[in-house]
Structure 1
Amino acid sequence: MQRQDNIISFDGQESPKRRISLDANSRRLIDACRKLVVKMLPQLMAGLFEKLDDAMYELADKSEHNSLQSTYFNTMRDLRKDRVRIDREFCREVLDRYDRFWETGEVDVSQRSFDELSRESEMSLLDDNELEDSLALVNMISKGENRYSRELYALGRRFAHIANLADEVSSQNNPLAPAVICTAFQESLRSLPVELPVKLIIYKQFDKQVMHYVGGLYDELNLLLGKAGVIAKLTPRVRRNPVAPAVKQAKHDLHGDSELSEEVDELQAEVFERLQGLLANRRGSSSYPAAGGVGGVSLPSVDTVELLGALSALQQSNVVMVPFGAAEQHQDDLRQRLDSDLRMRDGSEVQRALGDMDNDTIDVISMLFEFILDDHSLPDAMKALLSRLQIPMLKVAIIDKTFFSRKVHPARQLLNNLAQAAIGWNEASDRKSDLLYQKIESVVKAILTEFVDDPSIFTELNDDFSSWWEKEQRGADIAEQRTTQVSRGKEQLRAAKLRVTEEINSRLQMQPVIPHVVIALLKDGWKDVMLLNYLRQGPDSDDWKESLEIVDKLLWSVRPKEEYAERQELLRNIPELLRNLRERLNSISFDQHKMARLFKELQNCHISCLRGKELPSPVNTAMAVAEKQVSFPDSRLLETSSLLADSEVIETPSVPHDEFTEIAENLEVGTWLEMDQKQGDGKLRVKLSWKSDVSDAYIFVNRKGVKALDLTVQGLAARFREGSARLLSDGSMPIMDRALDAMLGALHDTREGAVSA
């Protein structure tokens, strides 16, 4: 009989067709996703047909009856003949449903549940072959939805975001859901002349070669959309699922050595196994019994569920606290408590033992927290808080071994984010008023009191903490930008002041006789005109160049003119010179009465020059040089400038260039340091926020972006030299990654030492 398609919509009911409106950016995103589907589906199908050919040949070779052997060979021939058609129709079916979704927001698939199939079978609406075919399809779909629930959830959220839909796109109405892919494959096989048993074999291979690896497609789609800013923090930026061999081969053919990234992913997945192998070298010298027994005597193992229950009891009692510098002792204390609570000993006799995997997990987590306690990038108070997470993290690692290999595991992310936020924290006199300390403490308490065996709490707490921390960072970034702008403004002002004084004073020193009125004009007003032009327009601007030309013309105008031609030229230029002086002095609100008096004195100088007479009240080279120099100590412009709110950076005496100077000179903006405060006021954690391009001034801010310290390169080098300044981790590598690397290195060194011994 003819099948009826079920139209799946977002509200679970049939609804009128609607159209989704997409802007240009959204259209580019869905087109990019479509291209990814167009690229990867044929690669997956290529792997399927290769395996189908091998499977049919193997089945034919093992067949005891000629008729069955002929069936498999005929199917192999039909698949080879129809491969292009099946591949083309399969991809077209998937892409048609994908395209229709972006028009209507609906997915049209022929998907029936197990209950519907059972009812139709009982009512004899389906014959046996159709029932088995449908059951095989529904089973594949169900497995795919369960296997890729996280990936489909993320993809559905992102598709809903792009389509501007109020509700998320569920796994059932996702245009690339397992139902869409499996149904498309079923449709592509309709014209293939094969019997049901052979078709079920084809379905099985499709499940192995396509559905098993379609998670890689979901990963790539989520990565693409995440990098494009579509709910960027919803899913990790790494691949979760295995990549099909055919896809790997296609990448290798295109990119050659880029296959190395796949090997890195595989190595990441083996982290815990590598740790186990290295820990095995230490097993012989440890005091606890392995699951295999003691002295060759086999002992029963403690059930993992029972172990988790004992750890939960310890977690709730909150008695397991890691004291600084006593991690090994703490590990022994934990095992003694477990021995007691799980009754693994009767007096001195061992009755039961932990399993090898649970033993190894306890060892790894203990070493992990030992590293955290030894990490000098964390303040001691924050170490004390984070150390209380040891048992919860141990429980997570026992429940889910991907904790060690998945860099985006929620519990691992939370620990990384808490440690990252703690780097710049400074001890407060009242911790109850310190928002960061209170926030981290609340997260730790929530885990200790609420976490039993559901790791989803780490996702919720991490999302909440990340959201809170982002707001804190935005405020800190704004404050830091203001600090940097002030520092940069002061630096520009210093450079401008230096340039103005150099330009004016170099001209003054070249002219032996200069009237007092000219010195007064330059000192009291014109240097501010030039400073303003330099700051606003820059040294390459016409205004700056004109201000220098006016200085040259002013100095030329007060030289005695003996030649008639010179006097005529001066007579022609005086009006323009006075006009330029007046306009630019007015632009800085120069005192009008003072300007009138100076201009009158300047007029007398010009009259004397026109008559070829000596200038009145000269300042000559025999007088103090300081009287012929322009400076800015009483500048009217500087007194009102907001750029001079803080004191100047104090220079330190020059010292020989050494390794500490190299460290200070090469320090990058964003680097965190811990510095001893003077008079024994404790330690201060600061971040390098700004480096001068002109001088050797450095500005440091605290975690809130507020200026905390300014030093010169030599001043910072001196602190490094005396040990009162120390570099901290910049947090670019999360604490869990650093811990695992350190653990692998330490265990590897232990193994190498044992081998060499």
Structure 2
Amino acid sequence: MNLMDQYGILMHNSGMHNSGVGGTGLPGGDATKPSQYSSVAMSEQLIIEHLKHCRDLTRGFAYRVFPNFWREWCKQILEIAEQAKSNKDQVALYEIQNLLSAVQQAAEQEFCQHLANGFVKFKNKSLNTLTGEERFSGDILSLVEHSDLEETIAITSITHRADNFFAENLWALQQRLALLNDGEKIDERTNPASPVQFCEALRRVLTNLDVDVKTKIIGYKLFDQDVVGMLGELYNELNDYLIRQNLLPNLRFVVAHDKPESLREDAIQDDPSEQHHAEASTQQQAVDAQQHQRRASDKLLNGALNPNDIQYQNSLLNAIRLLQTHVTQMMPAIQANAAAQPAPTAAVPQTPPAQLQVYTSPQLVNVLDQMQAQALHASQQALADQETAAPAVIPVQSAAEVSRQMMRQIASENENGAVEAGDMQTIDLVGMLFEYMLSDDHLPDSVKALLSYLHTPFLKIAFIDKGFFEQPEHPARVLLNSLAEAGVRWVSNDGSDQYDIFTKIKTTVFRLLHEFKNDVRIFAELLIEFNGYTNNVARRQELMERRALEKAQGEEKLREAKLQVNHEVRSRTDNRDMPSAILLLLLQPWSDYLSFVLLRYGDKSESWARALRVIDDLLWSLEPKTTQQDKVKHMELQDDLLSSLERGFETIGYEQAKGRKLLDAVASLQRMALLSRKAEPAPAPMRTKLELLAAEKAGHVVAQQHPVSPEEAKLVDSLKMVEFGTWFEFDGGKRLKVAWYNKKTQHYMLVDQQGRKVSLAGGLQLARDMIAGRARIIAGSTKPFFERALENIYHNLNERADHLKTGAAS
């Protein structure tokens, strides 16, 4: 039975009535407010027709992108097979590649059918696609297969990124689809074209394939790139179609601030008195959003998270706890006292022998109180011993040492003291958090050293406040994010810092070590104080950076003009014999005049066209004239040409004596041309010198003097993808940020940590510095520190579970 037949049956049995488009179920809808669309009720048949068309667009998109994804997957498996270390692995990979190639057509058909079925379920109001992460909670964690966990995390990551990236298009599509759903609100689970539907369709296809989880993960990565990454095309097609059908054609996406949830998705339309204000507000918000996106680290300081961030971090935490349980179960049972164990990962059984005395959470907090006092004394002593030195010399407190110290403290208090497995996992998790912090390339060494002394108070709050790990917006977590991001932004590895940020971080750390007893409100107080300080600093830096940016953009606009002028002149003079005086005229004063005209009037103006015609006429006038017709034309042109040159010189304030000398030379050369005589060309060395000077003035002489190697060319292309806000670290630890990139001149505006412009670096020079080891990119991320840490912990635990599984099998 085809999909249209299914629609017919569903419609016959659904018992649904015709509904108006403007029902009260619409997000932000107002039942009392008339709308030009609510007066027309859509028939059941019209709704079906719209859904069929949307289904066909979705299925057509899938047929376009799926084959390329599948071929790339096969290609990558083949490349991995060719690099396999053993014949056994190579044969297994070849078999997988052959299997994937053989089932491509069937997989494509099944994939598209799953997507089409989603529209049937949507009309039947039974579509509710989950990512799978909902299974990873509560008591069933230990029952979940490791392969399912891997696949679920992959799908969750893909959908999380896609929902954020396509937020505007998805929001608009869901508002319009709601009109085809009796006005009921649509979300990613009930939207038949949402990213999760595509991921679920692939998951169902892969369920029937006998491939290992590593192969699947490779597939999901390519699927994210080649299918999900292209969904913008589909959403544009779907929205365009629904707009043509008069379904909310004036919908506007507005980012709401501090509004109730029920008001955050209002559609701005219909009311002419509000339209102008809404459009202006939308434009301003778009500018603000662009500024916010341009500085990746800026938005991390405010601690704000959207629901998708919270859901994603919670799923990561659940997956980590599952993996911790798996790792513990795969390790040999440990019968000895937990205090005697060399590493914190060794937990005692949950039901300890009678002779062991398991420490309660309050007892563990008391142990940590003593350790916190020791950490405060140790950090203060270290700084006191190094008062005159750079901040980077404070010694780092090892994460593993903190855990061992805790075990030793318990053993010194009670030789039979023990820690139960659940608490041991908490100790482990906090330890891995700080291990990641110490290995994070984002953080300067001096900040890592300071923050390492927060290990003990953060371990303590994990026992005092069970919501610490469960709540991504917990003040302690947001404070750690803010401290880390401020360190990245305003402290360098060369020991320098801006706006006394290092001192502020140090003060915050010491206050926490000194004042945190059992009252978690200290974290909120310190967070408000620290973020208030950094927000003021950020505003000052923003102002300075904006001024530097405006100045740099003005300089670059002039440089762009000079590049265009140099191109226009050289395109007319290259491969052509030229007298010295004419070369000098065109490459210097007339190029300056062309730059003036281009900047003032633009390259579409008549003034620009006239200025270029002067060059063409001048060059023609210097050619020997052999016919009477050309001589007559020459005589008619000569006076106007000389007048145009003279006016151009006057416009740019060119020195009169030099200008007169050049005009006399032009007149003399023109007389030679009338006598059918050819002027003597400029000597090669002089011509080369003049052209190099002009090229240098235009800003691209470096590329001419130093040929670009293939490696350099490849890196220059890669640098074009660098986002604004990316940090570079140069020799000595100095950090500079890319505040702006000019595509035309390929110049990067680099600012220091105060927002002051340091240089306009060429892409080629940056590439050469990176190849020579004089510069490196600090891997950028728009994610908060804590989220990056959870992802790192998950991957490390995942690798550990794989190694243990391999070891057990062997």
- Is the Cα contact below 8 Å between 1:476 and 1:705 reproduced in 2? yes
Kindly provide the amino acid, as one letter, of the partner of residue 328 in structure 1.
Answer: A
Within the candidate set 389, 392, 403, 1:331 is matched to 403
The equivalent of 2:522 in structure 1 is 457
The equivalent of 2:492 in structure 1 is 426
- Is the Cα contact below 8 Å between 1:279 and 1:360 reproduced in 2? no
- 1:599, distance to aligned residue in structure 2 (A): 4.8
- Is the Cα contact below 8 Å between 1:496 and 1:535 reproduced in 2? yes
* Distance change (3 Å), C-alpha of 1:376 and 1:499: closer
- 1:415, distance to aligned residue in structure 2 (A): 0.7
Kindly provide the amino acid, as one letter, of the partner of residue 311 in structure 1.
Answer: L
Q: Check if 1:657 corresponds to 2:711.
A: yes
* Distance change (3 Å), C-alpha of 1:714 and 1:238: closer
- 1:329, distance to aligned residue in structure 2 (A): 2.7
Within the candidate set 217, 220, 225, 2:261 is matched to 220
Deviation sequence 1:76-110 (CA, Å, 0-9, x none): xxxxxxxxxxxxxxxxxxxxxxxxxxxxxxxxxxx
The residue matched to 1:619 in structure 2 has which SS?
Answer: coil
The equivalent of 2:722 in structure 1 is 668
The equivalent of 2:364 in structure 1 is 307
- 1:588, distance to aligned residue in structure 2 (A): 0.7
- Is the Cα contact below 8 Å between 1:268 and 1:405 reproduced in 2? no
Aligned mates of 1:519, 1:697 — CA distance in 2? 28
Kindly provide the amino acid, as one letter, of the partner of residue 589 in structure 2.
Answer: G
Aligned mates of 1:263, 1:675 — CA distance in 2? 34
Deviation sequence 1:465-521 (CA, Å, 0-9, x none): 33332333344445445555666666555554454345445545687686x765564
The equivalent of 1:529 in structure 2 is 593
Q: Check if 1:267 corresponds to 2:308.
A: no
* Distance change (3 Å), C-alpha of 1:527 and 1:310: same
TM-score normalised to the size of structure 2? Answer: 0.52
- 1:427, distance to aligned residue in structure 2 (A): 4.0
The equivalent of 2:48 in structure 1 is none
Deviation sequence 1:339-389 (CA, Å, 0-9, x none): 44xx3x1xxx31x44455433322221221122112233222111111111
Aligned mates of 1:221, 1:739 — CA distance in 2? 33
- 1:455, distance to aligned residue in structure 2 (A): 2.5
Q: Check if 1:741 corresponds to 2:791.
A: yes
Deviation sequence 1:232-273 (CA, Å, 0-9, x none): 99984344xxxxxxxxxxxxxxxxxxxx99985873674675
The equivalent of 1:687 in structure 2 is 737
The residue matched to 2:518 in structure 1 has which SS?
Answer: coil
Deviation sequence 1:197-245 (CA, Å, 0-9, x none): xxxxxxxxxxxxxxxxxxxx997348669x9899x99984344xxxxxx
The residue matched to 2:484 in structure 1 has which SS?
Answer: helix
Note the 1:143-222 alignment, pairs <5 A.
220-221=261-262
Note the 1:101-112 alignment, pairs <5 A.
none
- Is the Cα contact below 8 Å between 2:748 and 2:761 reproduced in 1? yes
The equivalent of 1:44 in structure 2 is none
The residue matched to 2:736 in structure 1 has which SS?
Answer: strand
- 1:746, distance to aligned residue in structure 2 (A): 3.1
- 1:684, distance to aligned residue in structure 2 (A): 2.9
The equivalent of 2:94 in structure 1 is none
Q: Check if 1:446 corresponds to 2:492.
A: no
Unmatched segments (≥5 aa) in structure 2: 1-25, 34-257, 267-281, 290-298, 340-346, 380-393
* Distance change (3 Å), C-alpha of 1:510 and 1:390: closer
Q: Check if 1:729 corresponds to 2:779.
A: yes
Deviation sequence 1:417-452 (CA, Å, 0-9, x none): 211222242145577x86121121122122222222
Aligned mates of 1:581, 1:751 — CA distance in 2? 79
Deviation sequence 1:115-160 (CA, Å, 0-9, x none): xxxxxxxxxxxxxxxxxxxxxxxxxxxxxxxxxxxxxxxxxxxxxx
The residue matched to 1:389 in structure 2 has which SS?
Answer: helix
Kindly provide the amino acid, as one letter, of the partner of residue 330 in structure 1.
Answer: V
Aligned mates of 2:558, 2:465 — CA distance in 1? 59
Cα RMSD for the two superposed structures: 4.9
* Distance change (3 Å), C-alpha of 1:627 and 1:751: closer
- Is the Cα contact below 8 Å between 2:302 and 2:531 reproduced in 1? no
Q: Check if 1:359 corresponds to 2:424.
A: yes
Bigger mean CA offset, 434-443 vs 471-480: 471-480
Within the candidate set 274, 281, 305, 1:237 is matched to 305
The equivalent of 1:90 in structure 2 is none
Aligned mates of 1:563, 1:263 — CA distance in 2? 83
* Distance change (3 Å), C-alpha of 1:752 and 1:600: closer
The equivalent of 1:140 in structure 2 is none
The residue matched to 1:686 in structure 2 has which SS?
Answer: strand
Q: Check if 1:409 corresponds to 2:474.
A: yes
Aligned residues: 504
Within the candidate set 277, 280, 284, 2:325 is matched to 277
Aligned mates of 1:675, 1:583 — CA distance in 2? 50
* Distance change (3 Å), C-alpha of 1:557 and 1:398: same
Note the 1:565-584 alignment, pairs <5 A.
569-584=633-648
The equivalent of 2:617 in structure 1 is 553
- 1:416, distance to aligned residue in structure 2 (A): 1.2
Aligned mates of 1:555, 1:491 — CA distance in 2? 30
The equivalent of 1:374 in structure 2 is 439
The equivalent of 2:752 in structure 1 is 702
Aligned mates of 1:708, 1:752 — CA distance in 2? 47
Note the 1:611-650 alignment, pairs <5 A.
613=675, 619-621=679-681, 624-625=683-684, 631=690
- 1:298, distance to aligned residue in structure 2 (A): 5.6
Kindly provide the amino acid, as one letter, of the partner of residue 399 in structure 2.
Answer: A
The residue matched to 1:730 in structure 2 has which SS?
Answer: coil
Q: Check if 1:288 corresponds to 2:348.
A: no
Aligned mates of 1:692, 1:430 — CA distance in 2? 29
- 1:283, distance to aligned residue in structure 2 (A): 8.8
* Distance change (3 Å), C-alpha of 1:497 and 1:266: closer
* Distance change (3 Å), C-alpha of 1:557 and 1:726: closer
The equivalent of 2:50 in structure 1 is none
Deviation sequence 1:255-314 (CA, Å, 0-9, x none): xxxxx9998587367467536634643694475167878962165544433433443343
The residue matched to 2:338 in structure 1 has which SS?
Answer: coil
- 1:547, distance to aligned residue in structure 2 (A): 0.6
- 1:631, distance to aligned residue in structure 2 (A): 3.8
Bigger mean CA offset, 489-498 vs 742-751: 489-498
- Is the Cα contact below 8 Å between 1:508 and 1:629 reproduced in 2? no
Q: Check if 1:470 corresponds to 2:535.
A: yes
If asked which structure has higher relative contact order (CA below 8 Å, sep 6+), I would say 2
Unmatched segments (≥5 aa) in structure 1: 1-30, 39-216, 240-259
Kindly provide the amino acid, as one letter, of the partner of residue 456 in structure 2.
Answer: I
* Distance change (3 Å), C-alpha of 1:412 and 1:613: same
The share of aligned pairs that are identical, in percent, is 24
Deviation sequence 1:454-473 (CA, Å, 0-9, x none): 32332332233333323333
Deviation sequence 1:569-589 (CA, Å, 0-9, x none): 455444543443333222111
- Is the Cα contact below 8 Å between 2:399 and 2:455 reproduced in 1? no
Rg larger for: 1
The residue matched to 2:517 in structure 1 has which SS?
Answer: coil
The equivalent of 1:179 in structure 2 is none
